[in-house]
């Protein structure tokens, strides 16, 4: 079993020993919400595994600098705002407010928030450098990135560049539906087309706005610099988005951007990916209305390994929350202080002393929350069997409480 943290790196496709660039400090960029619409339960699963990563690194003694982006200026937000006859800010502000309320409810640690609307100057700087280096060019008022100019383009996904078309193709939209590759040049800058109510900035590139493809690079380099330790997101980001980010940041700096790339898998409902067209999108209140608690939701989404799909059916929720209830009850019984004397050779004390080693052993194996939880729960069950009354002596009970508090600092599943 790993004695130090190992993470599965999407870039190398291997489980690797984690080493930060700077001793004691970890820089993380985590993809946040596009705030033209509210986050669903699949989005929250991604934010929760990122939360576990953040908390566990702090548990191990690292200082964590983490930035999460709010994408508040993009094609979809502009179109949605126009449809409702409001500004983009009027559309996104209540979505942001709801998001912040729900992340607190799910006990997600709130990192530093970066907004695309406040990173425009940095986006312009990046585009300017890319144009100077020959990676980007202007066409009909817009600015595009030519992936063929960047050696190793598509390396994160493992894109077969032999499929690249000979004829020049340009993709002007911020995003495209589905998990597909746009085999052509991607947009960096939307030149002003005189569209009413479309956000526009007057810059050295001319009037316009940064495209979605350059917004994350602008936010991360503005707040964390050009080299970070870990970049995180969902599996969908492996299509286009994260390779575009690499091409932009590394095209500017000439240095490796992120040492480790982590990607979480989808939440399914009834075996199908969450989709508006399928009518199976779930929000936190949909699960709360079934009688589950916020703690139940959190645990159900972190219990299955982040790199495995979850089919969030009622039987799965009931099974997961049953495990959580048993764990909580055992912890409650065992941490009740007793005035009864203890033997110096109390076997319970030895179990309690080793409980964090069991926890770390599994968490160090690519954040195996399920294995860590089951290992700790197994020790609680053995403690109960040693003391059916569930009240060990004062010293052991006090030590257990301290150990569980540290573990709960990561999992956030106890009161």
Question: What's the pLDDT score for residue 396?
Answer: 77
- Which region among 101-105, 311-315, 389-393, 408-412 has the lowest average model confidence (pLDDT)? 389-393
pTM: 0.94
Q: Are 153 and 161 in contact (CB under 8 A)?
A: yes
Q: Are 287 and 47 in contact (CB under 8 A)?
A: no
pLDDT for 7-29, tens place per residue?
Answer: 999 999 999 999 999 999 999 99
Q: Are 221 and 122 in contact (CB under 8 A)?
A: yes
For the CA atoms of 331, 337, 341, 347, what is the dihedral angle to 10 degrees? 20
The whole-number average pLDDT for the span 43-51 is 97
Question: What's the pLDDT score for residue 391?
Answer: 56
The pair of structure tokens assigned to 149 is 């100019």
Question: 92 - beta bridge partners?
Answer: none
Question: What's the pLDDT score for residue 293?
Answer: 97
The pair of structure tokens assigned to 138 is 């202007």
Question: What's the pLDDT score for residue 348?
Answer: 82
Q: Are 214 and 188 in contact (CB under 8 A)?
A: yes
Q: For the stretch 343-380, what's the b/e string if a residue is b when 16 or more beta carbons lie within 10 angstroms of its beta carbon?
A: eeebebbebbeebbebbbbbbbbbbbbbbbbebbbebb
Question: What's the pLDDT score for residue 410?
Answer: 98
Distance in angstroms (rounded) separating the CA atoms of residues 42 and 203: 37
Distance in angstroms (rounded) separating the CA atoms of residues 6 and 366: 5
Confidence of residue 78 (pLDDT cuts 50, 70, 90): confident
> CA 54: distance to chain centroid?
10
Q: Which of 121, 140, 338 is nearest to 215 (CA)?
A: 121
Q: How many CA atoms lie within 13 A of 51 on its CB side?
A: 23
Q: Determine how β-strand 185-191 pairs with β-strand 142-145.
A: antiparallel
In 91-227, DSSP assigns E strands to 112-115, 136-139, 142-145, 170-171, 185-191, 201-203, 206-210
pLDDT for 320-377, tens place per residue?
Answer: 999 999 999 999 988 875 545 455 456 788 889 999 999 999 999 999 999 999 999 9
Sign of CA dihedral 106, 376, 26, 8: negative
Q: Which of 235, 228, 210, 38 is nearest to 115 (CA)?
A: 210
Residues 6+ apart with CB under 8 A from 53: 28, 230, 232, 262, 367
The pair of structure tokens assigned to 249 is 């940041």
DSSP, collapsed to helix, strand or coil, labels residue 234 as strand
Between 415 and 297, the higher pLDDT residue? 297
- Which region among 14-18, 93-97, 134-138 has the lowest average model confidence (pLDDT)? 93-97
**140: burial class by Cβ within 10 Å (0-12, 13-18, 19+)?**
exposed
Confidence of residue 198 (pLDDT cuts 50, 70, 90): confident
Q: Sketch out the chain's domains with CATH numbers.
A: 6-264 (3.40.50.620), 285-411 (1.10.730)
The whole-number average pLDDT for the span 82-104 is 92
Between 208 and 89, the higher pLDDT residue? 208
Question: What's the pLDDT score for residue 341?
Answer: 47
For residue 271, give the DSSP letter: T
Between 161 and 279, the higher pLDDT residue? 161
Please state, for a pLDDT cut of 90, what percent of the chain lies above it.
77
The pair of structure tokens assigned to 22 is 């700077």
Cα angle vertex 98, ends 112, 174, to 5°?
Answer: 70
Between 398 and 186, the higher pLDDT residue? 186
Distance in angstroms (rounded) separating the CA atoms of residues 359 and 378: 11
Confidence of residue 270 (pLDDT cuts 50, 70, 90): confident
| Reduced 3-state DSSP string for 377-405 | HHHHHHHHHHCCCCCCCHHHHHHHHHHHH
Distance in angstroms (rounded) separating the CA atoms of residues 313 and 167: 47
The whole-number average pLDDT for the span 129-152 is 97
Distance in angstroms (rounded) separating the CA atoms of residues 158 and 54: 27
Query: Whole-number mean pLDDT of the chain?
Result: 92
Distance in angstroms (rounded) separating the CA atoms of residues 262 and 272: 23
């Amino acid at each position: 079993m790993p004695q130090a943290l190992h993470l599965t790196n999407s870039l190398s496709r291997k489980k690797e020993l984690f080493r930060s660039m700077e001793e004691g400090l970890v820089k993380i960029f985590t993809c946040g919400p596009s705030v033209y619409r509210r986050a669903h339960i699949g989005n929250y699963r991604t934010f929760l595994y990122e939360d576990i990563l953040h908390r566990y690194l702090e548990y191990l003694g690292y200082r964590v600098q983490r930035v999460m982006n709010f994408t508040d200026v993009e094609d979809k937000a502009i179109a949605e705002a126009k449809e409702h006859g409001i500004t983009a800010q009027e559309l996104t502000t209540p979505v942001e407010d709801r998001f912040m309320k729900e992340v607190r409810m799910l006990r997600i640690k709130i990192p530093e928030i970066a907004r695309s609307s406040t990173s425009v100057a940095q986006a312009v700087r990046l585009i300017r450098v890319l144009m100077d280096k020959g990676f980007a060019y202007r066409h009909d008022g817009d600015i595009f990135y030519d992936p063929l100019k960047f050696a190793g383009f598509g390396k994160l996904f493992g894109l077969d560049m032999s499929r690249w078309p000979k004829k020049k193709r340009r993709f002007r939209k911020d995003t495209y539906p589905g998990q597909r590759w746009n085999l052509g040049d991607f947009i960096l800058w939307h030149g002003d087309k005189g569209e009413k109510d479309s956000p526009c900035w007057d810059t050295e590139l001319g009037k316009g706005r940064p495209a979605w493809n350059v917004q994350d690079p602008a936010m991360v380099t503005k707040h964390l610099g050009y080299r970070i330790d870990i970049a995180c997101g969902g599996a969908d980001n492996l299509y286009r988005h994260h390779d575009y980010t690499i091409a932009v940041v590394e095209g500017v700096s000439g240095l490796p951007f992120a040492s480790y790339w982590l990607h979480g898998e989808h939440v399914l409902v009834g075996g199908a990916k969450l989709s508006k067209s399928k009518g199976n999108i779930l929000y936190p209140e949909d699960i709360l209305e079934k009688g589950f608690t916020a703690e139940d939701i959190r645990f159900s989404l972190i219990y299955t390994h982040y790199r495995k799909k979850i089919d969030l059916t009622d039987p799965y929720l009931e099974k997961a929350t049953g495990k959580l209830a048993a764990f909580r009850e055992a912890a409650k019984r065992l941490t009740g202080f007793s005035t009864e004397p203890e033997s110096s050779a109390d076997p319970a004390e030895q179990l309690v002393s080793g409980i964090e080693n069991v926890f770390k052993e599994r968490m160090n194996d690519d954040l195996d929350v399920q294995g860590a939880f089951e290992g700790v729960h197994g020790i609680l069950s053995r403690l109960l069997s040693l003391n059916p009354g569930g009240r060990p002596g004062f010293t052991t009970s006090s030590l257990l409480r301290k150990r569980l508090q540290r573990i709960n600092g990561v999992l956030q599943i106890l009161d």
